[in-house]
Structure 1
Amino acid sequence: MTTLGTEEHGMHDGLRLMPFHGLRYVPERVGSLAAVTSPPYDVVVRPDGLHHLESADPHNIVRLILPQADTPSARNEQAARTLHDWLAEGILSADPEPALYVYEQRRGDMLQRGVIGALALSTADAGIVLPHEDVMPHVVTDRAGLMRATSANLEPLLLTYRSDDGGAAAGAVGTVGAADVVEATAERPPLLSTTTEDGFCHRLWAITDPAELAAVTADLGHRQALIADGHHRWATYLRLQEEHHSPTPWDFGLVLLVDTARYPLQVRAIHRMLRRLPVADALAALEGSFRVRRIEGTLDEALTALGAASEAGNAFLLTGDGAFHLVSDPDPELIDRTVRHDRPEAWRRLDATVLHATLLDALWQVPDSAEHIMYIHDTEATVDMAERNGGTAVLLHPVREDVVRELARQGVTMPRKSTSFGPKPATGLVLRSLN
């Protein structure tokens, strides 16, 4: 249950992050915490990754976020039954006190910390939470059905803010900010600690002290956030809020907020696998419009060539036929004719913009639908699936975070699935019930 409460610090012109009763696995009732976690729903590579997670533990969270049945309604009903059963059996249990949660991910030299809470969705209308990508309506409909059936936020969005962007707490002598509370909390014994098979160590702490909660609330109350990961879940939150008459717990959504001034995120590309377009046909359609070069060597060497070409302009790596084809140097007249002119030049130059407007729409005529295009985060998985399906893998180079943030501040959204910020929070460490 979310603590709705009243404003104790006056009107907020920024983020409103509220404590909630976290729903967590009871360690004694599962094989291990690592075995019940999952990557976010849209990162799980189906079917191989899904089957692997389902077999890791009978209570793996993937049974809630990606239930398997013949129809959407049956999937949603199954997830709702599973959640109800796990609560009744004591597999999951709500924390007794409402809390904000400090969450840490560590692997080698990589360290990321942030705070998980229930974010007021009223900030959506005020330009306080900035999306940077478009969404696919059918995915929002799918996620909304699942959240509606389970009455739960099953995994947090990843939002970023920058403490060096100013704000009431920034720079004030003696003022304790959210980042200070996060660091102090991480010095204490955690609620849980587990290492997943990808080598990441995850730790979670609860913030329940009223003074610390107030410090976090006051600091974030003057901040703006960028949606780094979870645009479809954010759109789902807003749709479900509209369906309920405020005030209700649906006025809030589960998020992880990371201060990227202290913990910069990694930005990766999201690749495309074109199910019904063989590589030979894709290359033939580019003749005379792009420069195409065959790259000899390994996937890593081909990606290095892609990165170098991307410094000079739009570039893509096509594969799926056992070879790597670097596509670059588009015909300027073609770009001018196919890419819309009512957006900033930085948007018009994005690889994802050119990919969708020029390649997919104009040259390849591939519809942007699930039966034609798969969006895959993992590079090797994209290549493997293209080779197995006789399709074309289109590999992209990542966009810089400052480009993403500046476009978002201008109110300009990028083509959907343009970026992948990480590391992403593991799903299953803390959930939020709306009942």
Structure 2
Amino acid sequence: MSTAGHSETTAPPGLDITPFRGLRYDPDRVGSLAAVTSPPYDVVVRPDGVHHLQSADPHNIVRLILPQAATPDERNDRAARTLRHWRAEGILRTDPDPGLYVYEQGDGDGLVQRGIIGTLRLPDPADGVVLPHEDVMPHVVADRAALMRATHANLEPLLLTYRGDDGPADATGALVERTAAGPPLLATTTEDGHHHRLWSMTDPAEVAAVRSDLARRQALIADGHHRWATYRRLRAEHSSPGPWDYGLVLLVDTARYPLRVRAIHRLLPGLPLPDALAALHGLFRVRRVDADLPDALEALAKATQDGNAFLLAGDGTFHLVDRPDPDLLARTVPADRPAAWRALDATVLHTTLLDHVWHVPADSPDRIAYIHDTAATVEKAERDGGTAVLLHPVHEEVVRDLARQGVTMPRKSTSFGPKPASGLVLRLLES
């Protein structure tokens, strides 16, 4: 039998998605489902965000994904004990039948996104089935791996995107829509105004149809590069076959449900804004922008149409940084990468500004923080006397094209969304 013009012996393998018995909150044992959910761990990060979620409900998922204790070992032990306790008390219960899960989220502006949650067999990187597009930070991978070892669980899915078909050939899309027309397992609205609904797909014929359809696809990692690297590290540590051969994922067809792409900003706590601006003299054009944050971001968006541009903040005003010196870029940006990679704002930020102008190591958590929320980045820079570096988002097709070439972008270059809420369905790694 042939697929897309190739025989089965020559066609590359595709996505191998499998059903599983999800671990979910018992709605009768918690105050509300909304109160026990959380954004993904790397969106929360700030202590005030963790404390807010902990106070929302004693069983909030943040106690598992970001446990609080004096040392890393104590944090992971606490998460493992908490998970065991919640299971023993019936706070978390395992679904009786294995299945795939249809997940829907939407906002008040009409955005609706649906996808499939399942366990994905981890392919060989050389197969090109799952395409990463960003570098990762080793200390974050080590942290996530230690947590997964301690809990023996995938506590939150990573987000993968793929391109489905139009018309009757799109079996997965048709089954997602059919499933979403029925009554959900759960429905809740979180405090950000987003609604979340979850359905199970347990019919063997439907599951088989989805698996067959997705076996023709490749996927782009939209969110969760560190969790993906963690899955791969842990698989290498365990014998195969076994549960560590798989990882929990959410697959979204962006032909049907396009994601939004936002930038992830940088906070340089040890670099006062006047010092950052002084170091740019003669290397970039710097202009003060006397405007509020939305208008300053509009000025940044306009400037990026003509080349690399950044918006700096930290003293109550904004400063637009653009028109880098061509000789500086020639000296600092590696020439052995595709032109699209060399032209990325994130590339110029990391290779030119951080490495050569400001001398800030991109993998040092004491020297740099990566923050999704624009206003929070500015506020923290102003409060702590550091520098906020705001970026304009890159287009999804640029990301996908580079990933297909096997070229990774600098770490934390993009933020695809909406991101799945953590706490709706977990996966235990049991042999």
Task: Tell me the TM-score normalized by structure 1.
Answer: 0.95
How far 1:388 moved relative to its partner? 1.1
Residues 381-392 of structure 1 mapped to structure 2, 5 A cutoff:
381-392=376-387
**Contact 2:329 2:352 (C-alpha < 8 Å) held by counterparts:** yes
For residue 398 of structure 1, what is the aligned residue in structure 2?
393
Query: In 2, are the aligned partners of 1:15 and 1:123 still within 8 Å (CA)?
Result: no
SS at match of 1:122: coil
The answer for the alignment partner of 2:413 in structure 1 is 418
Q: CA deviation at 1:129?
A: 0.1
Query: What is the CA–CA distance in structure 2 between the aligned matches of 1:151 and 1:161, rounded to whole Å?
Result: 28
Counterpart contact for 1:14–1:123, Cα < 8 Å: no
Instruction: Find the counterpart in structure 1 of residue 366 from structure 2.
Output: 371
What secondary structure, in the 3-state scheme, does the structure 1 residue paired with 2:75 have?
helix
Q: Residue 212 of structure 1: which of 200, 203, 206 is its match?
A: 206
Root-mean-square deviation over aligned CA pairs = 1.3
Give the gaps of 5 or more residues in structure 1. 1-8, 165-169
4+ aligned runs moved over 2 Å, structure 1: 9-12, 122-125
Tell me which moved more, 333-342 or 43-52. Answer: 43-52
Deviation per CA, 1:53-100: give whole Å up to 9, x if none.
000000000000000011111110000000000000000000000010
Task: Name the structure 2 match of 1:126.
Answer: 127
Cα 1:12–1:26 change in 2 (3 A) is farther
8 Å contact kept, 1:295–1:325: yes
Q: Distance in 2 between matches of 1:123 and 1:200?
A: 36
Match status 1:83 vs 2:77: no
Aligned-pair identity in percent equals: 71
Q: In the comparison of the two structures, how many residue pairs are matched?
A: 420
Name stretches of at least 5 consecutive residues in structure 2 with no aligned partner.
Answer: 1-7
Correspondence for 2:145: 144
Give the letter for the 2:60 counterpart.
N
The one-letter code matched in structure 2 to 1:402 is E
The answer to whether the aligner puts 1:343 opposite 2:343 as a matched pair is no
Letter in 1 for 2:43: V
Match of 1:180 in 2: 174
Instruction: Give the secondary-structure state (helix, strand or coil) at the position aligned to 2:336.
Output: coil
Given that 1:12 and 1:221 are in contact with CA atoms closer than 8 Å, whether structure 2 keeps it comes out as no
Letter in 2 for 1:264: P
Distance 2:229 2:45 in 1: 22
Aligned: 1:259 with 2:260: no
- TM-fit CA distance, 1:431: 0.2
Within 5 Å, which residues of 2 pair with 1:131-280?
131-164=132-165, 175=169, 177-280=171-274
Aligned with 2:349: secondary structure?
helix
Change (3 A) 1:399 1:248: same
Alignment of 1:347-362 (within 5 A): 347-362=341-356
1:366/1:176 CA distance change after superposition, 3 Å: closer
Distance 2:193 2:282 in 1: 46
Instruction: Quote the residue 1:380 is aligned against.
Output: 375
CA distance in 1, matches of 2:12, 2:202: 21
- C-alpha distance in structure 2 between counterparts of 1:238 and 1:301, whole Å: 43
Q: Structure 2: which amino acid aligns with 1:106?
A: G
Amino acid paired to 2:16: R
8 Å contact 2:164–2:170 — kept in the other structure?
no
Per-residue deviation at 1:290?
A: 0.3
Match of 1:309 among 303, 311, 322: 303
Counterpart for residue 33 of structure 1: 33
Aligned to 1:112: 113
Shift of 1:124: 3.5
8 Å CA contact retained: 2:123, 2:130: no
How far residue 378 of structure 1 moved from its aligned partner, in angstroms, is: 0.4
Q: For 1:201 and 1:125, how far apart are their aligned partners in 2? A: 38
Residue type at the aligned position of 1:319: A
Q: Distance in 2 between matches of 1:175 and 1:374?
A: 44
Contact 1:34 1:196 in 2 (8 A): yes
Given the alignment of the two structures, is residue 427 of structure 1 paired with residue 428 of structure 2, yes or no? no
Give the whole-Å Cα distance in 1 for the aligned partners of 2:126 and 2:423. Answer: 30
Q: Deviation per CA, 1:250-294, whole angstroms, max 9, x where unpaired?
A: 000000000000000000000000010000000000000000011
Query: Which one-letter code corresponds to 1:420 in the other structure?
Result: S
Aligned equivalents of 2:53 and 2:301: distance in 1? Answer: 33
In the superposition, the TM-score normalised over structure 2's length comes to: 0.96
Taking the aligned partners of 1:182 and 1:69, their CA distance within structure 2 comes to: 41
| Cα distance in 1, alignment partners of residues 124 and 169 from structure 2 | 24
